[in-house]
Amino acid sequence: METTTAVCSTLQRQDCAVLTAVAHKLKGSVIQMSAPRLFESAKRLEELGREGELTEASSVCTDVEACLAEVHAALRKLIAGGFSS
C-alpha cells in the first residue's frame, strides 16, 4: 500500500510529475500479475498525471486502492490454500 500512499500524497501536493512517475511504476509492477483492471487504472492515473487532470485522478486513485485490495485478497487466498506440486 506504499504506492497508494504516495499517490494520495502527490494528489494533496498537486504534484503531477511525481503522480505520473508513481503511477508508471505501479503500472509496470502489476503488468506481471495478470490484474488487468488494476493495470488499466494505473495506466489511467499515469495519463491523468501527464495531462494535469488531478480532479479525476482522485477518483481513479480510489479505484486503484480497490483493485489493490482485490489483488491482495486473491493472493492471501492463494497462499492460504497452499500450492499443489
Tell me, yes or no, if the pTM score tops 0.85.
Answer: no
C-alpha cell at 49: 498525471
Query: Could you tell me the pLDDT band of residue 84, with boundaries at 50, 70 and 90?
Result: low
pLDDT over threshold 70, residue 85: no
Question: Would you kindly state where each structural domain of the chain is located, as residue ranges?
Answer: 2-80
DSSP the chain: -HHHHHHHHHHHHT-HHHHHHHHHHHHHHHGGGT-HHHHHHHHHHHHHHHHT-HHHHHHHHHHHHHHHHHHHHHHHHHHHH----
Dump pLDDT digits (tens) for 37-76: 999 999 999 999 999 998 899 899 889 989 999 999 998 9
Residue in the structure block whose three cell numbers are 490454500: 81
